[in-house]
Structure 1
């Protein structure tokens, strides 16, 4: 089995070297660079399986780099930040990141989060296969979801979703009209059996709404979200 290739963009030499060694011990192949422009070049040249981006790096900051990556690819992205400030977290997620980890972090925790993000595509594929058995293309207003082809169309035009957004839509489409709590979505989509930051859910729902229609996913105050049948 090929090694999972991680692009790691971090300007702190000690953190970069220590984290690279820890990830390599856990079986990952790592390309580590100290600044954002080099990170963009490495992303294009190396085509990694996942990107770890520190928010505060020189040349091109992590949030801007995430946007550039997302313009070109749906590869999973995890943001790293020394601050758990809400602005940092939301900016990273709105830029297209799938998750975030606050520094200082434990190497085992980072590895677990990387593997959880990478599992999402497999989970989306499995969920799609399950829905396919239940019957063909799913339609919600002008939105069509083809679980077999893993494709989404709105008004007949293709919609590009990241693996996390696809997994979220599949979770909603499995139970249209049913209210899904943030905790359930964290567990099912982000693999957070222990709970997690619900801002991750809120921002991803906002991103999904922007792509499939603002009125397609309804907020049920105090409970969660539901897909309008």
Structure 2
């Protein structure tokens, strides 16, 4: 299930958008920490962002630039401003598309689906041979970095950027324990300023993706040290997460 972060300070519009996203089978969250949108983004790990322009403290262009420092997740701007210059600024600041208010939900959903297909699905950029070149494998579990997908036994799940980086670190290490410090550095340049609980949240999300593939218990918590991919036991159902 794709996750969508709605950055909208109008409570009524935010609730409508969230209800619409859920109606169409997406998971959605309305942002609440308008001083720290990037922190909320990191904790929620969305596949796509709906971004208003007029926001408290900093505008949507600013937050789009901040998100782009850590993620290529699609960002669709929502605004009552229909001027050409606003749309140009949205694209130049890292946005992928622009939808004017009042929002026509059919058009918005079409744009969301198109953006998700381009980023994670059938239209995702994948140069000839790139899948094989960037694939990481551990005992049948394969990570395709170009498409941000995990594959096991013919099944695939899409990953957010943070989930992909975590999976890559664990697969490369295979059975070796990867410390929390190593994982924090793999995910964030300024790891010292990241709440340690944020890493736990991202590991939990990666575990859910592995569950979807039929690999429960594939990632162990090694207390006081970090995490370990149980590569030798992949495919054995019923594994217990510590």
TM-score range, shorter-chain basis? Answer: 0.5 to 0.7
Post-superposition Cα deviations, 1:40-79, rounded to whole Å, max 9, x if no partner, equal 2210111111111001111221000000000111111111
**Quick one: which of 55, 58, 62 aligns to 1:57?**
55
Q: List runs of 5+ in structure 1 lacking aligned partners.
A: 133-145, 151-161, 164-229
**Contact 1:23-1:107 at 8 Å conserved across structures:** no
SS at match of 2:95: coil
Question: What residue in structure 2 maps to residue 44 of structure 1?
Answer: 42
CA distance in 2, matches of 1:107, 1:52: 13
Larger radius of gyration: 2
CA distance in 1, matches of 2:20, 2:95: 22
Post-superposition Cα deviations, 1:186-211, rounded to whole Å, max 9, x if no partner, equal xxxxxxxxxxxxxxxxxxxxxxxxxx
Q: List runs of 5+ in structure 2 lacking aligned partners.
A: 135-145, 148-242
SS at match of 1:48: coil
Tell me how large the CA RMSD over aligned residues is. 2.4
CA distance in 2, matches of 1:26, 1:61: 28
CA distance in 2, matches of 1:113, 1:84: 17
CA distance in 1, matches of 2:5, 2:114: 17
CA 1:119–1:59: 2 relative to 1, 3 Å: same
Consecutive aligned runs of 4 or more in structure 1 exceeding 4 Å deviation:
124-127, 146-150
CA distance in 2, matches of 1:38, 1:105: 26
Question: What residue in structure 1 maps to residue 103 of structure 2?
Answer: 105
Q: Post-superposition shift, 1:9? A: 0.5
**Quick one: which of 13, 17, 30 aligns to 1:19?**
17
Post-superposition Cα deviations, 1:91-146, rounded to whole Å, max 9, x if no partner, equal 11101111111111122221111110000133444753xx44xxxxxxxxxxxxx5
CA distance in 2, matches of 1:15, 1:87: 24
- Residues 1-229 of structure 1 mapped to structure 2, 5 A cutoff: 3-34=1-32, 36-121=34-119, 122-125=121-124, 128=127, 131-132=128-129, 149=133
With normalisation by structure 1, the TM-score equals 0.54
SS at match of 1:93: helix
**Contact 1:34-1:57 at 8 Å conserved across structures:** no
Size of the alignment, in residue pairs?
136
CA distance in 1, matches of 2:105, 2:123: 26
